[in-house]
Chain A
Amino acid sequence: MSTDAIAMPSTAIAPRPIVATLHEWVTTVDHKRLGILYIIYALAFLLIAGVEAMIIRIQLIRPHNNFVSPQEFNRLFTMHGTTMIFFVIMPFMFGFANYLIPLMIGARDMAFPRLNAFSFWMTAFGGLLLYFSVVGANGLYGAGNAPDVGWFAYAPLTSQTFSVGHSTDFWILALLISGFGSIGTAINIIATVLCMRCPGMTLATMPLFAWLNLIMADLVILAVSPLTAAQIMLLIDRYLGGHFFDTQAGGSAVIWMHFFWVFGHPEVYILVLPAFAFASEIIPVFSRKPIFGYSVMVGATIAIGFISMSVWAHHMFTVGMSSAANNFFVISTMAIAVPTGIKIFNWLATMWGGKIEFKTPMLFCIAFLFQFLIAGLTGIMQGAAPFDWHLGNSYFVVAHFHYVIVGGILFCLFGAFYYWFPKMSGKMYSETLGKLHFWIFIIGFHLTFDFMHIPGLLGMPRRIYTYEPGRGWDTWNFIVTIGVFFQAAGILVFLGNLIWSYFRGKAAGSDPWDAWTLEWSTNSPPPAYNFASIPVVKSRRPLWDLKHPNDPDWNYE
């Protein structure tokens, strides 16, 4: 609670005991520290879920492999999916939003600093509870047992009959708890963006980053709540003998699918909108041009927000819905490609004619543009119901959504890491290691996920723990697994770069990229109060106006 704890470290202060530092981090309500906590927490889970993915791929490297048992395989893919979505990407996004939004809109903190801390700890404890199941759940054999019902936990697999013991309950409760945290953060982000902007910053002049995160937070509120409701129903079924998803008593397994995907598809946009936000900040700065079509970008984002609420059942074409429902969801799925396409064109138009600097963040964003385009195209392919009837539940689907999440979202995230690392740590990362990371990772990514489409087209279903030789899948699976090792190497280079640069990197200065948003106007790392005096802005690029007083933006907006 001491005041000098928050003050800028000066050379005179002796190193404080680790307990004091720890206490400071645990009790912090500072949005920057909470943002960093989110990010470090997500990095830890990224490693765990990454190792799970590696084990899955090693098991599938050749037919009839015996690296793990079928039961373990089920647990691995369930934990991999759940962890990556809820405890890696979402905390990453919340972490960056927490750290950057107040800085970008010229505020001293989030709207509700204590709620912010509470939300983070809920998310954190949710993840810990999920992994406590590995030792704590009473499984079928009396030993510890992780959830094994898949990340979307279709009924009736989750009923007491088929899921004995508490492993599924751990899954439900972990998501319920972290869901409360997510809703808390979302409320905080909305209140911050709407109420905490600095003087002069209207909705039409705030950075696109704030806009995209605002829509993301709206989606969290509208999408995570249905998941919470569905989880409560599942708990009632499992603990109180309810019949929501009990087909023996007239309940419906399909309605679980609807409830899950009402959450599940907007969730994809919850994950990808912050990635768009990173790209919308990084691409203009490294193209030395303002973002092309700001208002259209905002409009497209809002359109994505709306349409994403009405596409969920394209995950369910193979269930056998009525043709009217099929038509509706095919059309809405096609429709969402339009605003997304507008965004891609706007980023390209931002780059076009610019003086592009190929720094590591920009490389990741350019790769994102290409890969996200391909991911979107395979998405449209599967958005057509007849095509999906053939490829639903195959490795083609797996390849598609990994293309979105890894090729799109994770690439943007890496770009964001490199772009804002100097701001967060005050140190410059190693450009050599960053480029090395980029090239190793992109090779690994394409080896794995390009070739993963093919066994899917050849009929390989997802979630099988092994397969017969001679179906034409062997070579492809081998290549896919090899790619995973490249990706793992890339991640190690990335982590090495972060750690090395943190301790040995050159001082970055307040504005290493010659950027235009407010976070670059304060020190790196920013002091606890962010801005000694609250800035006043007149345009979308306040730092441009300061740097070019003869040619400010507000004449043109």
Chain B
Amino acid sequence: MNATSMTMTEARLEWNPSDRGRVAMLCLIAAEAAIFTIFVVAYVFYLGKSLTGPLPKDVLSVPIVYTICLLSSSLTIHFAAKSLRRGEIKSFGVLWLATITLGAAFLYGTGIEWYRMIYKEGFTISTNLFGTTYYSLVGLHAFHVVVGLLSLSIVMVFTLLGRVRAEHAERIDVLSLYWHFVDAVWIVVFTVVYVIGR
């Protein structure tokens, strides 16, 4: 019989596995990207296949200002995370609030556009194929903005309560990954819906 203790003898090893939170967020982003891919494919596939009006160019107005809002919120969140890493809680709070405001402005933009189309022009998700694909794609994105805003707001509340400190920078980084993803998706959605599809 050959018996040895289970404790393995080994010199000190360099061992730095990657951060699990970041890995998980990247996986979640991959999964979400797959979902969006299917919706974008459906949108592109059904372009011009509606049997009845209205056409995209009849109802859509390009939300340039709100798009700039959303995309610039990526910048503010980036600098917010950076200042947190340096321990500047105050500037972190300001930039974080700016991010939330910009995101909310975008959501408001989507809201008034939908209000106009639904109540003024009578164009709904069941009007035609374009309505179905448009509302589901933009709505799916808006849903992700809402989820993002909720999590950003929770962080904001904790910041105001003075609970957020520099050691949370890693978690904030992970959360900002999600927000960057939401912004990146909007670039795709904007291109497909307002540039190519219109």
Contacts and interface: CB of A to CB of B under 8 A. Distances in A.
- Please determine if A and B sit in direct contact within the complex, based on CB atoms under 8 angstroms apart: yes
Interface of A: 111-112, 115, 183, 186-188, 190-192, 194-197, 199-200, 221-226, 228-230, 232-233, 236-237, 240-244, 249-252, 255, 259, 262, 521, 533, 535-538, 542, 545-549
A244 B30 contact: no
A111 B20 contact: yes
B6 A112 contact: no
Contacts of A548: 2
B132 A242 contact: yes
Nearest to B9: A536
A232 B136 contact: yes
A195 B17 contact: yes
A488 B66 CA distance: 62
Contact of A229 (B19, B24, B27, B35): B35
Interface in B1-52: 2, 4, 6-8, 10, 13, 15, 17-20, 23-24, 27-28, 30-32, 34-39, 42, 45-46, 49-52
B168 to A, nearest CB: 18
Contacts of B7: 533
A546 B13 contact: no
Nearest to A532: B6
A536 B10 contact: yes
Interface stretch (B76-84, B103-111, B121-129, B178-186): B121-129
B32 to A, nearest CB: 7
Given A195-B18, A233-B136, A242 B28 contact: no
A243 B8 contact: no
B133 interface: yes
B30 A222 contact: yes
Contacts of B32: 225
B21 to A, nearest CB: 8
Interface string B72-112: 00000000000000000000000000000000000000000
A226 B40 CA distance: 11
Contacts of A191: 20, 23-24, 27
Interface centre among A115, A221, A228 (most CB of B within 10 A): A221
Nearest to A546: B4
A216 to B, nearest CB: 13
Nearest to A107: B17
Contact of A241 (B6, B8, B126): B126
Contact of A187 (B4, B6, B10, B28): B28
A240 B126 contact: yes
Contacts of A233: 38-39, 42, 136
A521 B52 CA distance: 68
A242 B136 contact: yes
B38 A226 contact: yes
B132 to A, nearest CB: 4
A537 B42 CA distance: 49
Contacts of B36: 229
A225 B27 contact: no
Given A542-B8, A545-B8, 18 more contacts: A195-B18, A196-B20, A200-B15, A221-B30, A226-B37, A229-B37, A229-B39, A236-B132, A237-B132, A242-B136, A249-B50, A250-B50, A250-B51, A251-B129, A521-B6, A537-B8, A538-B10, A546-B4
Given A243-B126, A255-B45, A537-B8, A225 B31 contact: yes
Nearest to A259: B38
A298 B50 CA distance: 47
B8 A250 contact: no
Nearest to B45: A255
Nearest to A262: B38
Interface string B146-157: 000000000000
Nearest to A193: B23
Given A225-B32, A521-B6, A536-B8, A230 B126 contact: no
A539 to B, nearest CB: 11
A298 to B, nearest CB: 19
Given A196-B17, A538-B10, A221 B31 contact: yes
Given A194-B18, A225-B31, A535 B6 contact: yes
Contacts of A197: 17
Contact of B34 (A225, A237, A542): A225
A190 B136 contact: no
Given A195-B19, A230-B38, A244 B4 contact: no
A187 to B, nearest CB: 4
Nearest to B25: A187
B4 A200 contact: no
Interface centre among A191, A199, A259 (most CB of B within 10 A): A191
A536 B14 CA distance: 12
